Structure 1
Amino acid sequence: MDFVNGFATGLALIVAIGSQNAYVLRQGLLRQHVLPLVLFCALSDALLILAGIGGAGLLIRDNTFLMNLTRYGGALFLAAYGVLAARRAWQGEPMQLNGGGRVALRTALAACFTFTFLNPHVYLDTVVLLGAIANQRPDPQRWVFGAGAMSASLCWFAALGFGARFLAPLFESVLAWRVLDALIALTMWTLAAMLLLS
């Protein structure tokens, strides 16, 4: 039961549309570095969830400098990425789904790293919130709860990255890419504003 509760709680927090999800979806549509990105996202969540269960959530929540650093750095990065997405939407550049316009693996992982670790909401959701919920349980149930949350992360990112290919026929048109990039830009700017106003 603790595993199921952890899975459901983790899924509820992870599925919310965010910069990390939008990036994995886009790379999944392009079929570029999907497996490394899925594994990176899932392992990052697992690391943060383990840290939260281990007690790091209390330290992060009370560290004003760390929260402000990720807050302003994250807002700047999200706003800049939003500008790039908006430019793609405006220009309406056709995307090749068969591997055209590939980015290097390290570039894709670097972007995913930034979307993950410069986002204070990631720490609040995984380290602080999931850690607090898990730590209401005694050993070993809190770790079972954490395992459920980590499994939810892996399932979600795998479904997002590898499931995107089923949307590929829709994204054969330039208009669909323009709409997606416009939505990504709005998402990035909204998240950046939320970080600055929170």
Structure 2
Amino acid sequence: MISGKITLLEGDITQQQVDAIVNAANTSLLGGGGVDGAIHLAAGPELLVECRRLKGCKTGDAKITKGYNLPADWVIHTVGPVWHDGKYGEDEQLASCYRRCLAIAEQYEIRSIAFPAISTGVYGFPMERAAKIAVKQVMTFLFLENHSSLEAVMFVCFNRQTYDCYRSALKEILSNEQG
């Protein structure tokens, strides 16, 4: 546990006992590879049926569905940017993903949420850069904007490399906040 509300762990996001998990989705919301495919598989076919009704999602935005067969009651689907070279608004689009997910969590009075490393897989966003954006957005939401419902935010890292990047980002941002 870091800063009382933020947890970092290496593991499988589909197994987390939280109110909501975040899906790093594509614009169709109809499943894909990586975390998106794992979430759709674990949730069961009802998730796909509900996602079809949502008619997609724009990059930087988010939409919510039930969790179906997942331990989480909710899945918040967000579409991260595909990395080009950082000159096409990728940082802002990724930051928007986190802000939109957190806003939906607040709207639905979600108390605990788990995030994957959005856009860092096949979308190619540099891991260290993505981790800093993720941590900054979450810390701003939790500690500077004084939102009430969220009690716990978890960054669930698929592997040790991702975990190490997020741990470094947390340490750096915490030391900058205190210094």
Give your verdict on TM over 0.5: no
Higher RCO, 1 vs 2 (CA within 8 Å, ≥6 residues apart): 1
TM-score normalised by the shorter chain: which range applies?
A: under 0.3
TM-score by length of 2: 0.27
Computing the radius of gyration over CA atoms, which structure comes out larger, 1 or 2?
1
